Amino acid sequence: SYTIDNQDQVAPMITQVQDSQILSTIQTLSDFQNRYYTSTYGVAASDKIMAMWKALAGTRSDITVEQFTHAGWPQKSVILTIKGTAKPKEIVVMGAHLDSIVSGKVTNETRAPGADDDASGIATLTEVLRVMVANNYKPRRTIQFMGYAAEEEGLLGSAEIAKAYKRQLKKVVGVLQLDMTNYQGSAKDIYIYTDYTNGAQNTFLANLASTYLPTLTVGYDKCGYGCSDHASWYGKGYAASLPFEAAFTDDNPYIHSANDTLANMGNQASDAAKFAKLTLAFGVELGTDGP
């Protein structure tokens, strides 16, 4: 079962989540002309995220950062690992995609800011990492932060990673996907998606929200297809979840266009901050013990 028994560690960290940090990272990432999986900017954005995560890791000897090379295209995925103190072979994965796209033809110079889709997810993860390191949090299980390449092309980066993990019989105890966290399109704050995800882990997420974020409202919906990288993990038999910004019909109308900008999200990151708090709770509770 998914025990929630680390309030002493989770509660203080949640209070340290800063909207301004998330806003700054979304700005940095959406300033790239695009983060397209075959563009020079897309390659540079991956390198930038690795550099940012390395800087946040500081001198922690239990934290490593690497890029996962994909043979079929130039943009690499980024994986940061916090090695577990007690059960290092058991892995908690928290991911988002680092690429961006616009509908129609894409060239190297096409403008694709991808502020919500999915700079918001990467920025949310980055803030979770910052708070964990600031508190010298050391998980008993291994926690891996993942920035996936080429999600927009069809979940290509996460598909290769999940396939490799399955083939290597890696013990991934749970996967959380963050794709679009900063545009509140619907009445409720967080929507837990119930297709291509794991029911028990979804219940755990809902319980984390009611325990640690009691003022937030939680809804449920379905995509009807593999709508983000969680589906790659689900397809390999791992427990995955997708907390999302809106109900399916209310998602951010600006995505996959040059208008997916911070300005069109009100130049704020208070919505993403909710997801950072939930992700912190998920990482600490599952990373410290769990099922």
Task: Name the site residues for ligand IPO (rule: CB under 6 A).
Answer: 117-118, 151-152, 179, 223, 227-228, 244, 248, 251, 255
Reduced to 3 states (helix: H, G, I; strand: E, B; else coil), residue 240 is strand
Amino acid at site 134: A
149 binds, among Zn ion, ligand IPO, none (CB under 5 to 8 A by kind): none
Which of 97, 127, 251, 260 is flagged as catalytic? 97
Tell me if residue 230 is catalytic.
no
Query: How many residues in total does the chain contain?
Result: 291
Closer residue to Zn ion in complex, CB, 65/150: 150
Judge whether 129 and 56 are in contact, CB under 8 Å.
yes
Q: How far apart are CA 119 and CA 117, in angstroms?
A: 6
Cis bond before residue 189 (omega within 30° of 0): no
Tell me if residue 152 is catalytic.
yes
Q: How far apart are CA 18 and CA 29, in angstroms?
A: 17
At residue 171, φ and ψ (nearest 5 deg) are -95, 85
Query: What does DSSP assign to residue 126?
Result: H
248 binds, among Zn ion, ligand IPO, none (CB under 5 to 8 A by kind): ligand IPO
251 binds, among Zn ion, ligand IPO, none (CB under 5 to 8 A by kind): ligand IPO
Tell me if residue 151 is catalytic.
yes
CA contacts within 13 A on the Cβ side of 207: 15
Which of 118, 151, 221, 245 is flagged as catalytic? 151
285 binds, among Zn ion, ligand IPO, none (CB under 5 to 8 A by kind): none
Closer residue to ligand IPO in complex, CB, 204/254: 254
Tell me if residue 97 is catalytic.
yes
Which of 179, 189, 229, 245 is flagged as catalytic? 179
Which of 90, 116, 118, 152 is flagged as catalytic? 152
Closer residue to ligand IPO in complex, CB, 117/271: 117
Query: What does DSSP assign to residue 117?
Result: I
Q: How far is the CB of 259 from Zn ion (least distance, A)?
A: 13
Residues that bind Zn ion (CB under 5 A): 117-118, 179
Closer residue to Zn ion in complex, CB, 180/205: 180
Tell me if residue 195 is catalytic.
no
Largest Cα–Cα distance in the chain?
Answer: 51
Closer residue to ligand IPO in complex, CB, 2/244: 244
227 binds, among Zn ion, ligand IPO, none (CB under 5 to 8 A by kind): ligand IPO
**168 burial via Cβ count (<10 Å: 0-12, 13-18, 19+):** exposed
Q: How far is the CB of 199 from ligand IPO (least distance, A)?
A: 18
Tell me if residue 179 is catalytic.
yes
Closer residue to Zn ion in complex, CB, 118/271: 118
Q: How far apart are CA 192 and CA 219, in angstroms?
A: 6
Judge whether 270 and 21 are in contact, CB under 8 Å.
no
244 binds, among ligand IPO, Zn ion, none (CB under 5 to 8 A by kind): ligand IPO
Q: Which residues contact 80 (CB under 8 A, 6 or more apart)?
A: 53, 57, 63, 64, 65, 129, 144, 145, 146
Catalytic residues: 97, 117, 151-152, 179, 256
